[in-house]
Amino acid sequence: MAASEAGHSTGTAEKYEGRKLQDRVYQLFPDPNLKEAAPSADVEIVLFHGLHMPDSDPEQLFWKTWTMRKDSDKVWPEVLLPNALQKDGKQISPRVLSVKYESRADLGDVGTDAGEKKLIVESLVTDLIHLDGPIGQKEGVPVILIGHDLGGLLIKSFVMEVEVTEATEKDDEKRKRLGNFLRNLKAVFFYATPHSGAKYYQELADSILSDQHPMLRFMRVLNKETARINSDFQTYRQGKAEFKASRFTSNVIHALYKTPVTVNGNKRSEQIVKEASARRDNDIFYSVSGNHFDVCRPKDEKDSAFKILVREIRQACSNSVPVPQREVNFHQDPSYQRWLDALQSTSKPPANYDICSAGVSGGSRSHVSTNKIPQK
């Protein structure tokens, strides 16, 4: 890295480090240090980064995970999202937080206690809901949680911790805050999340002889504890049968391309999270052109996965017609792009639309169905 590039990156890191709200929470947008009063938020978004990789800085994952694909010094929640949420002269003002937690696979320097799921989740509940500037406390302001990789599994544990704690909390004010958060939670996004584990992470765990991150076990293939978390989360999300509605939508963004990885000194490229593991209790399943890390780094405002996110945010803020359930393998398909543009411009989804995308590797079929997602 050239000296000027290194300096630029260092300055960016200092900028986002300066937006710290709590021990594990940073506000990416709006900048909390600005003297001008920020507009009241219309939607609150919380980002959960994934497992640390050897070639990245674990202290910077809370912002670097969410940078633009073509400009690693700019985070899209700040430079892309606010403008994308402006439509027909109406501005949806987002408040975007990002959590920071111990995510190194090898915890030899800090000890495994730093990576204990229970400790991480309990701390996040405190930092996000019980301290100053809590999320999910304003009526009519929806909450959207976005997780990449391990962050998606952490979201599930976080939501279930809030649900269980609310049922047993004796402090009236704390119980009220927990309940407010759960009522305002409207959508979750899972970017390249291994709901059923991943072979790569299993090999990574086996290569670390001691002091490995305890949450690595949740990323092993067909892990029983992960299966229990998945089941509990799905049961809670789907709500009681008599309601015939899900409590919030579940959206999966799946990476089609392989990613360079190294295990035990051996370098190779592989699709880190297979489709079978990415699928789990989803209302929207969306495959995109990108590797494991690019999947949550849009190129620009026309990026299709980013458009899906914007659509869900608008949906949550408007309480209009639900987005249809759909599964898409998208590979720069112009007909789907026209459909998506039409979906963006109307509150009523187009009826019965199917596309076949010959550009998808392996000749797989892209399908869009308009089964509506029931919402409470």
Of the candidate ranges 267-276, 285-294, 330-339, the one whose mean pLDDT is the lowest: 330-339
Strand positions, DSSP E, 178-316: 185-191, 249-255, 259-263, 266-270, 284-288
pLDDT band at 370 (very low <50, low <70, confident <90, very high): very low
Dihedral Cα 273, 277, 280, 286, nearest 10 deg = 40
Q: Tell me the pairing of strands 185-191 and 67-68.
A: unpaired
pLDDT of residue 211: 64
Residue range 166-202, pLDDT digits in tens: 999 999 999 999 999 999 999 999 999 999 999 988 8
Q: How much is the average pLDDT of 58-65?
A: 92
Using DSSP's 3-state secondary structure scheme, residue 256 falls into coil
Residue range 26-54, pLDDT digits in tens: 999 999 998 776 678 999 999 999 988 76
Question: What structural domains and CATH numbers belong to the chain?
Answer: 9-319 (3.40.50.1820)
The better pLDDT of the pair 366, 250 is held by 250
Name the phi and psi angles at 25, rounded to 5.
-130, 130
Residue range 74-115, pLDDT digits in tens: 999 999 999 999 876 788 999 999 999 988 777 555 444 544
pTM: 0.82
Q: How much is the average pLDDT of 49-68?
A: 87
| DSSP-derived secondary structure letter, 212 | B
Using DSSP's 3-state secondary structure scheme, residue 75 falls into strand
Name the phi and psi angles at 118, rounded to 5.
-60, -45
pLDDT band at 123 (very low <50, low <70, confident <90, very high): very high
Q: How many helices (H) and strands (E) does the chain have?
A: 12, 16
What is the rounded CA–CA span in Å between residue 352 and residue 370?
Answer: 6
pLDDT of residue 87: 77
pLDDT band at 159 (very low <50, low <70, confident <90, very high): very high
pLDDT of residue 1: 40
pLDDT of residue 201: 87
HEC string of 311-340?
Answer: HHHHHHHHCCCCCEEEEEECCCCHHHHHHH
The better pLDDT of the pair 130, 57 is held by 130
Beta partners for residue 296, in sequence order: none
pLDDT of residue 254: 95
Give percent above pLDDT 70 in the chain. 75
- Encoded tokens for 92: 């949806």
Is it the case that residue 321 has pLDDT exceeding 50? no
The better pLDDT of the pair 369, 251 is held by 251
